[in-house]
Amino acid sequence: MRSAPRRVGRERHRSRSLPNRKTRTLPTTVGRVSDDAVSTPNDPTREADPPVPADEPAAPEAAGTDVPAAEVAETAVGTAVDASADAEPGAAVTQDATAVAEPAPAEPEAVETAAEAELPALITQIRDGYAFKGATLHFGAGVVEGKAYAEAPVRIPLSMMTRHGLVAGATGTGKTKTLQLMAEQLLEQGVPVFLADIKGDLSGMASPGEMNSFIETRAAEIGLDWRPTAYPAEFFSLGGQGKGIPIRASVSQFGPILMSKVLGLNQTQESSLTLIFHYADTNGLWLDTLDDLRAVIQFLTSDAGKAELKQIGGISSATAGVILRELTAFAARGADTFFGLPEFDSADFIRTHPDGTGVLSLLELPSLQDQPEVFSTFLMWLLADLFATLPEEGDVDKPKLVFFFDEAHLLFKDASKDFLSAIQQTVRLIRSKGVGVFFVTQSPKDVPGDVLAQLGNRVQHALRAFTPDDQKALRAAARTYPHTDYDIEKLLTSTGIGEAVITVLSEKGAPTPVAWTRMRSPQSLMDPSPDEVLDRAVESSPLKAKYWEAIERESALEMLTSQEA
């Protein structure tokens, strides 16, 4: 059983974003006492009056009053005067005058104000700019000149996760760990999470982390407790290529635009494939597998189907032949296992455990590293399916699902105009379905501008600028940040491993101040989980009975074969 996440740090009762301003010299005096703290008669800066000998009469002023001189001294000093016969009255007054001259302890409010005055201006901006009222995810602590300040926690409002985001950075800078720590906190707050695990590292989320000196130091540095925690996960695989529960799609469900992307077709060929899909749909030819699609194309290019091909219009035999060759090559690479029945219902990602925590869905993809266009396009299909099936929600206090799109640059590489348009539309509109999407890639330039404009939250790890093109991209990335006293170009190339430059949307939808952030460490294992952990998770999954075995029905291949007979 996991304990509830501990809230660390002082919650602010208001949220505001302060404009950036130049760094200024701040007062450093702590505990200064005003002149009124010491009464004037006993001002220690004055030269003390000489003591009055015991055998001499009192001064005329004192003698002419009804109050003895000793009592006058006692009243001025505010302390009891030892009136014993052996003590000299003058000595007692002098002693108490010295005692009262000591500064009084500063009030707690004065101490707090002085302590705040010692914070750098940038840290004050970060502290105030990231103070939110509602539930949040905690990234880490603000940094200035290499020092982390626990007084300036960097957060993102949970409600703003549906405004989408970008996690970028060069290889080895900490992107995967950032996904991990974000996913952990989402799950703890009851939000289901989908993660594509390209390298297999994220399976470690199903196992508790292991304390080491780095984690211990980092936790102390940013003022956060660290507890080893395991997050139960559902493991999936594309078409059963792996240990996870198979995710399959019918060719019809996948659609012509996504199919054109995985086949590497040009714009003209994509248009022709769209017409072929339309022909199959209008004639009741179910396209469940690649064999079904191949059978339809072969029929249309055969003597028996020439009339049908002509009736469709806009498809040449040469174009149909190209599509058929690409389809055959695609199937030969093992892709035919991804298509078939039962079709996966993406709504199965949106579940919670009995204790209220979100379900983690991990799509294992190590076996597809040499087919990047396949897994990236399948991720887009899952996202598009969510968009098509989920109801409208409007603005929500917390997301229904957060979808992390790893290796996002592969999705946009060589993409057609229609494909990019479909991505842009899906990302723009799926927010109203309560789904947040975070693209994960090496550089912001990997994401088209129209899509990048939809991403309101940014976690930027270090960039590399070795070539003129890299330097140009760096300058372009720096210009997209709000104005700040940080040297953004320098910062983007010099942040250390486990650090990031962050700006998110506040609860009012305004950008927060730029925050150089020292990130917290994930609480789950930062390495792959043992195989037995995956095996147990799959065996105990309620989805195994639903998706494990492939099924067949009479589809296009069988229908066309029976016609020829």
Asked whether residue 84 carries a pLDDT value surpassing 90, the answer given is no
Q: Where are the domains of the chain?
A: 40-100, 137-146+148-248+341-547, 251-338
Note the pLDDT tens digit of each residue in 265-314. 999 999 999 999 999 999 999 999 999 999 999 999 898 888 888 888 87
Q: Kindly report the number of other CB atoms within 10 A of residue 240's CB atom.
A: 19
Q: Which CATH number fits domain 137-146+148-248+341-547: 3.30.1780.10, 3.40.50.300, 3.40.718.10, 3.30.200.20?
A: 3.40.50.300
Note the pLDDT tens digit of each residue in 451-498. 999 999 999 999 998 999 999 999 999 999 999 999 999 999 999 999
Q: Kindly report the number of other CB atoms within 10 A of residue 479's CB atom.
A: 9
- Long-range contact pairs involving 280-285 (C-beta distance under 8 Å, separation at least 24): 280/252, 280/556, 281/252, 284/559, 285/555, 285/556, 285/559, 285/560
Out of 83-92, 134-143, 304-313, 352-361, pick the least confident: 83-92
Note the pLDDT tens digit of each residue in 1-55. 444 444 444 344 333 343 443 343 333 333 333 444 333 344 444 444 444 444 4
Nearest to 505 by CA among 137, 230, 13, 151: 137
DSSP string, 90-125: HHHHHHHHHHHTSPPPPPHHHHHHHHHHTS-HHHHH
Nearest to 349 by CA among 196, 243, 192: 192
